[in-house]
Amino acid sequence: MTARVAYFDWNAGAPLRRVAAVAMAQAMAATGNASSVHGRGRAARDRIEAARARVADAVNVPADWVTFTSGGTEANALALLGLPDRRLAIGATEHVSVLATAKACGRPVSVIGVDGSGRIELASSPVAIGAGGGDLLVSVQLANNETGVIQDIASIAGLVHAKGGLLHVDAAQALGRVAVDMPRLGADLMSLSAHKLGGPTGVGALVASPDLALAPLWRGGSQEGRRRAGTENVAGIVGFAAALEEALGEIGAMTEVARLRDVIRGAIAAGAPDAVFFGEGAPRLPNTLCLAMPGVKAETQVIALDLAGIAVSAGAACSSGAVTRSHVLEAMGVSADLADGAIRVSLGRENTTEEAEHLVAAWGDLYMRTRARAAA
């Protein structure tokens, strides 16, 4: 019998919720293309529209604002590439899907710096935004996937709108962990992802007013309000909505997740005085801890913990298994040597005190062994 793995990589992907799996199985058992006009087609359409209403309600917008996509990456691409006449300004610590899309779009791109805690430097934002921002699109994460740092989106939105620009917010990591009210935040476009909150992989959404003229990424049928051609993934969409509904009901319980995260942080700090923790000078997601073991590569830590039956990651999990230096920590002014030793511990509803103690013990054992070798 395989031993249970202590899974501390929820920011990479949360375990599929049972309620989502059940909803998906029911949808897959019901044949029907949502674009067909017969009974089975209409039933599939009804499932999608019910899910659309659930997702829209979660971020406090009308249902017709929601365009289902294949995930957060596609939602980010649609937001940035769907407005091709706008110059871009993006946060320095954005998800790689935003950074790569901006780099490849062939348009002027300004980068907005962050302070040592990872928060957007509002004082320097007008420089990046510039004057005459009516043709501007700014893209900023609500919560960072590596450090968990939460940005002051409402203040950023005020600056952007004062220049006549639009604000895109990547809320993939935040949804289901903290309250996300799109109008209150002031976002004009918002990207969401299902698998971060216990839904299936391969489904997400871009949320934006239908009055905003978005060019589709590819041509085909008239699905999703002509914003995304292609037959909808009914099972994935239904699973997304089911997982989201349950996750929203558990946001209050995230205080316990935060407590467990802080227990891990305190125990590691007590046993390793030179351990470094990132983003602590800013509000953070309740489940995220980013830390470094100075002098020990992140890859070494990840492998050692994996051998001990513990799953963590080195920064973001978006590089096909490669361990690369974090651009997020680099933007925060962290030295290369220290950034090379940074790992991310991200928790969820299923983690236990025993697992936390196991993590601390395994990490501490590696720490003591490396220090002993250094002293020999």
Kindly write down the DSSP assignment for every residue of 114-149, as one continuous string.
B-TTS-B-TTTHHHHH-S-GGGEEEEEESB-TTT-B
Q: How many CB atoms lie within 10 A of CB 69?
A: 27
What helix, strand, coil percent values describe the chain, rounded to 5? 40, 15, 40
At a CB cut-off of 8 Å and minimum separation 6, what does 77 contact? 97, 101, 217
Q: How far apart are CA 314 and CA 191, in angstroms?
A: 24
The angle at the Cα of 113, spanning 158 to 283, to the nearest 5 degrees, equals: 70
**Per-residue buried b or exposed e for 204-213, using 16+ beta carbons within 10 Å of the residue's own CB:** bbbbbeeeee
27 by Cβ neighbours in 10 Å (0-12 / 13-18 / 19+) ranks as buried
Catalytic (active site) residue 290: no
Active-site hit among 30, 318, 338, 361: 318
Q: Which two tokens stand for residue 203?
A: 């489904």
C-beta of residue 339 within 8 angstroms of C-beta of residue 330: yes
Q: How many CB atoms lie within 10 A of CB 246?
A: 18
Strands, DSSP E only, in the chain? 6-7, 66-69, 87-91, 109-112, 136-141, 166-170, 189-193, 204-208, 276-278, 288-292, 310-311, 342-346
Q: Minimal CA–CA distance to 8: which of 369, 322, 290?
A: 290
Instruction: Please say whether the dihedral angle defined by the alpha carbons of residues 89, 94, 99 and 101, taken in this order, is positive or negative.
Output: negative
**Which phi and psi angles does 217 have, rounded to 5°?**
-70, -30
What is the length of the chain?
Answer: 376
Helix (H) and strand (E) counts in the chain: 13, 12
Q: Please give the positions annotated as active site.
A: 318
